[in-house]
Structure 1
Amino acid sequence: MASTIDSQGIDSQSRAREIIAIVSFMAILSSTIVALRLFTRLKILKACGLDDWLIVTAQVFTLGTAVAIGMESRYGLGRHVWTIPKEETMPYLKTFYASILLYNFALAVVKVSILLQYRRIFTAPAMQKACVVGLVVIICWAITQIFLNAMICMPVASFWDPTIQGKCIPFLPIWYTYAVVNIITDFSIFILPLPALKSLELPKKQKIILFVIFGLGFFICAISLFRIRFLKVAAKSTDPTWDNVDAATWSLLELSLAIISASLPTLRALVIKIVPQL
C-alpha cells in the first residue's frame, strides 16, 4: 500500500510552475534591462550603434528560447517521462529542438555585440585587432555550432519523430564540446577589456565600479561551468523530461545574465544622470 502511495506521489510530481516562474522572471528582467539600455543610448547619449541593435536581436531570440522552454513544460518538461501521453512526445521534442537552436543563436549574437561594444569603447589599436580576431572566431564557431545542432540527426525530423529511421550524433560528446568552447570564448571575451580598464586615468571609485561591471562576466563563465553537470545528467538520463529541467533553466539564466552583463556598462550613464555623485 505504501509503495503504491509513493508511486502515485512520484507520478504526480511536476516542476512546470518552477520552470514558468524562472523563465518569466528572467525574460522580464532581461527585457527591462535591454529597454533601459536603448533608452540610455537613444535619449541620453544620443547615439545607438550596431552593438545595441544586436543586443536587441539577442533578446528577441532569448525570448524565443524562453517561449520554447515554456512550451516544453506544456508538453512534458518537469514531469516524469512515463507520465507523458505518447501524443505529447513529438511536440515536446520539437520544442526542445527549437530551444537548442534559439539558445545557440542568441548566445552567439550576445558575444558579437559585446566585442563590437569593446571596439566602440576602447580605441587602442591592439584592442581593435583583438576584437576583430574575436569576432572572426565567434562568427565562424557560431555558424559551425548552429549547423551541427540543426543537423544533429539525419533526416532532421528523426530528432522528434520516432517513426522515422535516422542517425544522430551522440549528444553528450557534442554538448561537452560546445560547452568547453563556449566557456573558453566567454572567458576570453570577459578578460579582454581588463588591461585597458586598468590603464584608464579615472578616479579610483569609478575604476572599481567599472571593474565590477565588466567583471560580472566571470559570473557567466561560472554558470557555464556549472551547467555542464546538468548537460551530462540530461544526456544520460532515462527520465529526460524530468532531468532536463536544470539544464534548460540554467541555459536561460546564462543567456539572460549575459545580456544583462553586456548592457550594464551602458546603464552607467543612466545611473550617473539619476545619481550624479557616482
Structure 2
Amino acid sequence: MALPTDTDSAVPRLIVTFSVLVSLAGITLGFRFYCKHRYAKQLGVDDLLLGLSYLILTSGAIFTAVAIRHGFGQHIWNIKLLKDAITSARIVFTGGAFVFSGIALAKTSICLTLYKIARKKWQRWTLVFIAASVLVTKLLSGIFIFISCTPVQKRWNPLIEGKCWDINVLCRYWSFSGAWSAVTDLALVVLPWSIIWHLQVKRLEKIVLGFVLSLGLLTGIVAAIKTTYIKSSDLENDFTYAAADLVVWESAELGVAIIAVSIPFGRLAVQDYFKRKRAQSVGNTNSQVSGTRCTQPDTSESTMVRRDGNDADDEVPFARQLAKPKAIDGARSRTVSLEQFLREAAEMPGAWRESGGIMLTREFSVGRHRRDVSEEEVGFRAWSPPPASNV
C-alpha cells in the first residue's frame, strides 16, 4: 500500500504561535509584577501562581522546539526514523500534561485576583467553585495521560506490549474539560461587572475596569476552538501532525489567560507613566515662576475615601486596589484592600459612615518650590467628626 504524499507541515504555525505567546505574556506579566512591586512591595499568591504558569508556558515552548527536531508537526509518514516519531510523541504528551496544569494555575490566579475585590459571599463562593472545578478537571486531563496505559510508555510507543484505554475515552474527557473551561471563562467575564458595578466610582472607570477584567472572554473563545481539534481518529493515525493544532490551541489558552489577567496592571503602569511625565512638565514650569503655586493635575483616576474620625483622609485609588498599594505619604495615612475596606464599611458604626461613607473625590498634589505652604494657604482643611449632641 502506497503511503500518502501530503507534505504539509505544521512547524511554521507552531513556531509563530509560541513566539507570540511567550513574548506578549512575558511583557504583560512584567507590567503586573512592576505594579505589585511599586505599590505593594511584595507579590501575592495569585502573582506566584501566574508566574509559575508563565514558566510552564515557556517550558512548553522548549518542549515543542525539541519535539520539532524529532519530526513533530510533520505527517508521520514523512518522518524517516521510527524512533524520532516515538520520541516526538513522548515529548508532546509530557509537555501537554504540564500545559494542562499551567492552565489550571492561571485560572486559579484569575479567581484569586477577583476574590480580592469581591464584596458579596455568593461572588466569593462562585470564584472558589470556578477555581476548584477548573483545577480538578485540568489536573485530571494531565494525569489521565500517564495512567491510561500500562506500562505508561505504551501511550507514545505502540510497539510495547501492554494495555491502554480507548483513545476515544481520552478525547471525550479532553473535550469535556475544554468545554467546561470555556463555560468558566464566560462566568469570569460576567462576574467582574457584578463586582464593580455597584461601587461608587465613575461610570467610565467602571466600564473600563469591567472591560479589562472581562478579557477572559478571549480565553473562552480559544478553549471552544480547541475542542474542535480533538479528533480521536486523527490523533491515532497521524499523531505527529494532528496533535500540532491541539498543542497550538492548548498553549494559546494558557498564554491568553496570562495576558488577560495581566492587562489591567499594564493599564495602570501606563497611566502612572503619563502622570509622572505630566508632573515633571508641571514641575519644570513652576520652577520658572516665583512664589508658590498649587496645581491640580487633570486625572481621571477615581479614589475611595475613608472617613474614620482620625482627622485625616485616607484616599485609596480604586484602580490600584488590585495591586494592594503602599500607604500614601503621611504619618496617619494608610490603605486597605478593597475587600477589607468594604467589609469594614459595612461593620463599623463610626461617624464616617454617618457622614457619607464611600465618597468619590479627585486627587490633589501640592507643589512646593521657594517656601513652605501651609494647608490653610492652599485651601485644605482637615476633616473632623461632628460634635456630639448634648441632647
> 2:151 matched to 1:152?
no
Indicate the residue corresponding to 2:107 in structure 1.
111
Instruction: Note the C-alpha offset of 1:47.
Output: 4.2
Higher mean alpha-carbon deviation, 77-86 vs 183-192, is at: 183-192
Cα separation, 1, equivalents of 2:132 and 2:224: 24
Q: Deviations over 1:233-260 (max 9, x none)?
A: 7745633322332221122111101101
| Whole-angstrom distance in 2 between the partners of 1:79 and 1:18 | 12
Q: How far off its partner does 1:90 sit? A: 1.6
Instruction: Provide the identity percentage.
Output: 21
Specify the SS of the correspondent of 1:230. coil
Equivalent residue, structure 1, for 2:161: 165
User: For residues 137 and 20 of structure 1, what CA distance do their matches in structure 2 show?
Assistant: 32
CA contact (8 A) 2:192 2:214 kept: no
Q: Secondary structure at 1:244's aligned position in 2?
A: helix
Q: CA deviation at 1:229?
A: 1.4
- Aligned: 1:22 with 2:21: no
AA aligned to 1:122 is: A
Moved more, 257-266 or 37-46: 37-46
Per-residue CA deviations over 1:59-104 (Å, capped at 9, x if unaligned) read 1111112222222222222212111121201210111111220111
Q: Does 1:87 align with 2:87?
A: no
SS of 1:148's equivalent in the other structure is: helix
Amino acid at match of 2:203: K
The residue number in structure 2 matching 1:34 is 29
Query: Are the equivalent residues in 2 in contact too, given 1:234–1:243 (CA < 8 A)?
Result: no
In the alignment, what sits opposite 1:200?
A: 199
Please tell me whether the aligned partners of residues 119 and 195 of structure 2 are also in contact (alpha carbons under 8 angstroms). no
Instruction: Give the TM-score, by structure 1 length.
Output: 0.87
For structure 1, the residue ranges without an aligned partner over 5 or more in a row are 1-5
Q: What per-residue deviation string (whole Å, max 9, x for no partner) do you get for residues 3-30 of structure 1?
A: xxx94xx44x433233212212211221
Q: 1:74 to 1:46 in 2, by over 3 A?
A: same
- CA–CA distance in 2 between the matches of 1:81 and 1:128? 48
Does the C-alpha gap of structure 1 residues 251 and 144 become closer, same or farther in structure 2, counting only changes over 3 Å?
closer
Q: Distance in 2 between matches of 1:242 and 1:133?
A: 36
Within 5 Å, give how 1:226-241 maps onto structure 2: 226-232=225-231, 235=234, 238-241=237-240
Within 2, Cα distance between the matches of 1:22 and 1:127?
35
Which residue is equivalent to 1:243? 242
1:49 aligns with 2:48: no
Count of aligned residue pairs for this structure pair = 270
Alignment partners' CA distance in 2, 1:165 and 1:120:
52
- Residue aligning to 2:212: 213
Determine if contact 1:234/1:247 at 8 Å carries over to the other structure. no
Once the 2 structures are TM-superposed, how far is the Cα of residue 141 of structure 1 from its aligned partner? 3.2
Distance 1:82 1:257, change over 3 A: same
Equivalent pair of 1:14/1:79 in contact (CA under 8 Å)? yes
Q: 1:74 to 1:188 in 2, by over 3 A?
A: same
More helix by share: 1
Q: Normalization by structure 2: what TM-score?
A: 0.64
Q: 1:61 maps to which residue?
A: 56
Q: 1 CA distance for matches of 2:89 and 2:183?
A: 29
Check if 1:137 corresponds to 2:133: yes
Q: Which residue of 2 aligns with 1:121?
A: 117
Higher mean alpha-carbon deviation, 230-239 vs 107-116, is at 230-239
CA spacing shift, 1:151–1:189, aligned 2, 3 Å: farther
Q: Which amino acid aligns with 1:96?
A: V
- CA-CA distance at 1:51 after TM superposition: 0.5
Q: Please say which of residues 117-126 and 254-263 is displaced more in the overlay.
A: 117-126
Tell me which structure has the larger Cα radius of gyration.
2
Asked if 1 retains the 8 angstrom alpha-carbon contact of 2:28 and 2:262, the reply is: yes
